[in-house]
Chains A and B, each alone.
Chain A
Amino acid sequence: MSVKKFVVGCFDDEKTLFPAVKNTRKAGYKIHDVYTPFPIHGLDHAMGLRDTSLHTAGFIYAMTGTTTALTFMSWVFTKDWPLNIGGKPHLPLPAFIPIVFELTVLCAAVGMVLTFCYLCQLAPFVTKDHFHLRATDDLFVMPIEVTDKTNVEEVKAFFQNAGAVEVFEKEAETGWWLGRYDKAKKAFEKEEIVTA
């Protein structure tokens, strides 16, 4: 958990957002993140983010499900308790297909969702600091981190030129803490007092 200072620029149209992102990177400012109310295709590439490999994880989970189901059922029917079911073979592979398939899908889906939640730090009671409440409504919010070398006024002017509809400074917690959104007191504010 660390509290940092940011200059925040808010945009209300993709048409101004994309050039702004491009120019910000060109000017050498470090974009902390861009918060948007819906997925904007191409923004990740414009920001220079690499592609996610979540689907690879999904494939691995799927294969885990497949092998678990196959080995378990084969072990039960050939080694642990070979039942004679109407004189049918002990290893009826075609009859295993439905359960193998279902377990493949189940493991892939559950595994991927849990991985997604872990990577994005999402869980019930996880609370985060938000730069702008309208970031989930109609604003595209781009904070730039303020370091010792940053000229705050320059960044603000830069945002205004880029077509931002709102520009402000804000101190924000970049991590997460356990809490509830209806509690006004933020966990990190208390810590600030202790360290100060």
Chain B
Amino acid sequence: MSLLRYESQVREPLVDGHKTYHDVTEDICKPVEAAPTRLWWIGFIISVALLLFGAVSLYKEVVYGTGMWNLNKTIGWGWDITNFVWWVGIGHAGTLISAILLLFRQGWRTGVNRAAEAMTIFAVICAGQFPIWHMGRVWMAFFVMPYPNTRGPLWVNFNSPLLWDVFAISTYFTVSLLFWYSGLIPDMATLRDRAKKKWAKAFYGVASFGWTGSTKHWQRHESLSLVLAGLSTPLVLSVHTIVSFDFATSVIPGWHTTIFPPYFVAGAIFSGFAMVQTLMLVTRKIMNLEDYITISHIENMNKVIVLTGSIVGCAYLTELFMAWYSAVKYEQDIFFKYRIAGPYGWSYWLMMTCNVITPQLFWSKKLRRNIAFTFLMSIVVNVGMWFERFVIIVSSLYRDYLPSSWSVYYRPTIWEVGFYLGSFGLFFTCYFLFSKYFPVIAIAEIKHILKKNGESYKEQMDGIEEQSVTEFAHEHAHAH
């Protein structure tokens, strides 16, 4: 018996309870097959109401223009682009979990990847709304696509980071959707074959694309997932890098820095994991999935949060140092007079508290494994990350090179807030529908790791492992 063949005893099982393959199917399919609960309806109706409020806010903006959002010549990117960057950042965790953790062979990804990928897709849909409606004349949004037109043809500027963003976000959305759905097909087939109701048979039948589970198909499926993971890994890093280029390639003090790409990517992972925690902690409780999304899953994600939070904190300090070290007057003024102090100073310190100081509490194992505390922290981190984008955008814009155009104080209007709330409505409407009608955990993937990482297996192996240790010692004692 090789000592390296089995996992360390320190590692906890990824699936609790002594499950069989059929138990896994039952546990995950039951909430999907049951009728929606009252709690689900309440949540769903609130989400749809928020979505409708967002639609009214957008109507106001389309009819009267972006002035409805209190945007002006100086502060041209207010809440709107803040929300865009915030949602895109959240949309990074899903692909990170499913792609990067797949390449690193992290077994714990299987419990959370399906829901995290769904969350990614919904977050990217929400993110996309902001730059599109921010165009003002939204009916001309298709101008960003390089298509042969009657104006020359006059092409788009391929040198512009804003155009790179169009390509990055749309590619990211498409690839995430394909990755998510190709993983869903076998699980949809499981639901199809269990379906009793006529509509369910029809719906899951169409959604499963006629999947049979043939060995050859699985072989291709595995190859497809691996290559898609390999493609998504640089993709997920490129997307937020390009989002950061929107700022970094400009000459605005406070934006014009080379540290932005890694700093934004770390921040994206940080906020994305926080949102995954918010959703997972509620989902596992309501849908009785505590055996699949265990405390050790939550702890692992908290470890990622404390790591990325510290990277973000390091970036904040580096920025301050570089502003001082560069000896550029404008940089120094923005950072030391108008960002950490001045009328928006409060938002900087709120950001520092939420993103850098409080996540350090996760160095304590006890707190990492505390569900209530984790839930609270996930909200705190998301608030902090929203303020990070707000600080970057507004505190650099409200004092520009020309003091006569300095904007005194930028306040969002109800319609700008309404648009933001509407994006929450869109996000949660999608998430509620997903969690009711789709399997929130990848059934086939859980079965795949069940015999390796399930609780019964671990108990069985612990004995063998101990035995192999004595065997090993025994053999070596004889050898020398």
Contacts and interface: CB of A to CB of B under 8 A. Distances in A.
Contacts of B209: 117, 122-124, 126
A29 interface: no
A110 B447 CA distance: 28
Q: How large is the interface on A (under 10, 10 to 19, 20 to 34, 35 or more residues)?
A: 35 or more
Interface in B179-238: 179, 182, 185-186, 189-190, 192-195, 198-199, 201-202, 204-207, 209-224, 226-228, 231-232, 234-235, 238
Interface in A13-54: 14, 33-40, 43-44, 47, 49, 51-52, 54
Nearest to B446: A38
B232 to A, nearest CB: 8
Nearest to B209: A122
Contacts of B175: 105-106, 109
Contacts of A85: 157, 159
Interface centre among A81, A109, A134 (most CB of B within 10 A): A109
B434 interface: no
A113 B224 contact: yes
B152 A81 contact: yes
B111 to A, nearest CB: 15
Nearest to B213: A35
A60 interface: no
A183 B150 CA distance: 50
A20 to B, nearest CB: 13
A62 to B, nearest CB: 8
Contacts of A34: 214-215
A92 to B, nearest CB: 6
A108 B249 CA distance: 29
B154 interface: yes
B250 interface: no
Nearest to A43: B215
Interface in A101-126: 101-103, 105-106, 108-110, 112-113, 116-117, 119-126
A110 B224 CA distance: 11
A111 B213 CA distance: 22
A137 interface: yes
Given A83-B157, A105-B231, A128-B210, A37 B224 contact: no
B228 A109 contact: yes
A105 B210 CA distance: 27
B132 interface: no
A39 B218 contact: yes
Nearest to B167: A102
Interface string B87-118: 00000000000000000000000000000000
A115 B320 CA distance: 50
A130 interface: yes
B165 to A, nearest CB: 9
A39 B224 contact: no
Q: Which of B153, B167, B226 has the most CB of A within 10 A?
A: B167
Contacts of A185: none
A122 B214 CA distance: 12
Contacts of B468: none
Interface string A51-80: 110110010001000000000110011001
Contacts of B154: 81
A99 interface: yes
B235 A105 contact: yes
Contacts of B213: 35-37, 135-136, 141
Nearest to A31: B215
A119 B220 contact: yes
B193 A113 contact: no
Contact of B159 (A58, A88, A137): A88
Contacts of A109: 174-175, 178-179, 228, 231
Nearest to B161: A98
A21 to B, nearest CB: 9
Contact of A35 (B167, B210, B212): B212
A58 B212 CA distance: 24
A153 interface: no
Interface string B116-158: 0000000000000000000000000000001000001111011
Contact of B146 (A55, A76, A126): A76
- Give the one of A73, A123, A124, A137 with max B CB within 10 A: A137
Contacts of B163: 99
B358 interface: no
Contacts of A123: 209-210
Given A95-B158, A182-B198, A128 B212 contact: yes
Interface stretch (B20-28, B287-295, B365-373): B20-28
Interface string A118-150: 011111111110100111111001000000000
A135 B202 CA distance: 19
B155 A137 contact: no
A188 interface: no
Interface in A147-191: 176, 180-182
B451 interface: yes
22 contacts: A35-B212, A38-B218, A39-B219, A39-B444, A40-B218, A44-B216, A49-B216, A54-B224, A54-B227, A55-B223, A72-B146, A77-B158, A99-B167, A109-B178, A109-B231, A116-B220, A116-B221, A116-B224, A117-B209, A124-B206, A130-B212, A182-B205
- Of all A-B residue pairs in the complex, the 10 with the closest CB atoms, nearest first, are A181-B205, A126-B210, A138-B21, A122-B209, A182-B201, A38-B444, A98-B164, A39-B218, A38-B447, A182-B202
Given A37-B25, A37-B186, A120-B221, 8 more contacts: A36-B218, A37-B213, A98-B161, A102-B168, A113-B182, A120-B211, A134-B193, A136-B186
Interface of B: 20-22, 25, 146, 152-155, 157-159, 161, 163-164, 167-168, 171, 174-175, 178-179, 182, 185-186, 189-190, 192-195, 198-199, 201-202, 204-207, 209-224, 226-228, 231-232, 234-235, 238, 242, 245, 443-445, 447-448, 451
